[in-house]
Amino acid sequence: MTITITAFERSPDGGQGLARDTRVRWALEEAGQPYDVRLVSFAAMKEPEHLARHPFGQIPTYEEGDLALFETGAIVFHIAQRHGGLLPGDANAQARALSWMFAAVNTIEPPILDLTIARIHERDKPWAEARLPLVKDRIRERLKQLSARLGEADWLDGAFSAGDLMMVSVLLRLRASGLLDEYANLAAYVARGEARPAYKRAFAAQLAINAPDRARS
């Protein structure tokens, strides 16, 4: 059955792979599943046709036959359950991978999003500059804990899993801030994720849409 995902017609990041379709593409590449992409404009995302797929008018979405999904955590988990390559065989290890997926979107991603909000959406507020150190320290607190747990390991719990895919995808957004580089093992962890052939294919696919000139060179 054909899998179709949605992605930005033009991502604001110009192809840096930061929009969340990249993590879905990555999961599909790890699972060896071909997929089609329906590109949507910001205006089209708020139209009834897209809202039927995504109640919040966002990307990415996932369609397969009569199944339509939204939320990247749910989409990646669905792909991981249906196909090999993203979850361990042991039931307890699977449950732990799910914990890491939730940790990525529920514990690590919120303070990172707060930094985007502070830097971009609230930058004109009179208190924006004063708030920034607090926002960064909240991120540091989580990174310190995550760094301690990862230690010298390659991945969070044994072999690479959907938990790592989600965590690396979330941490990637921090690179420009410099915060990731304060934790050498986390920076190396993210680089390890990016070095995976499946990630490279996912990145190249979104780059071909968002910066076709760079993708060709």
Among 51-59, 120-128, 145-153, 175-183, which window interacts with ligand GTB (CB under 6 A)? 51-59
Choice between 13 and 182, CB closer to ligand GTB: 13
Binding of ligand GTB at residue 18 (CB under 6 A)?
A: yes
Beta bridge partners of 3: 64
Token pair of 202 as six digits = 């996912």
Beta bridge partners of 63: 4, 68
Q: Report the candidate in 34, 161, 39, 153 with the shortest Cα–Cα distance to residue 94.
A: 161
Among 57-65, 79-87, 119-127, 136-144, which window interacts with ligand GTB (CB under 6 A)? 57-65
Residue 108 CB partners (closer than 8 Å, separation 6+): 142, 146, 167, 170, 171
Binding of ligand GTB at residue 58 (CB under 6 A)?
A: yes
Give the x/- contact pattern for ligand GTB in 62-101, rule: CB under 6 A.
---------xx-----------------------------
Beta bridge partners of 7: 39
| Residues from 29 through 48 that contact ligand GTB (CB under 6 A) | 45
CB 5, CB 61: distance < 8 Å: yes
Binding site for ligand GTB (CB under 6 A): 11-13, 18-20, 45, 57-59, 71-72
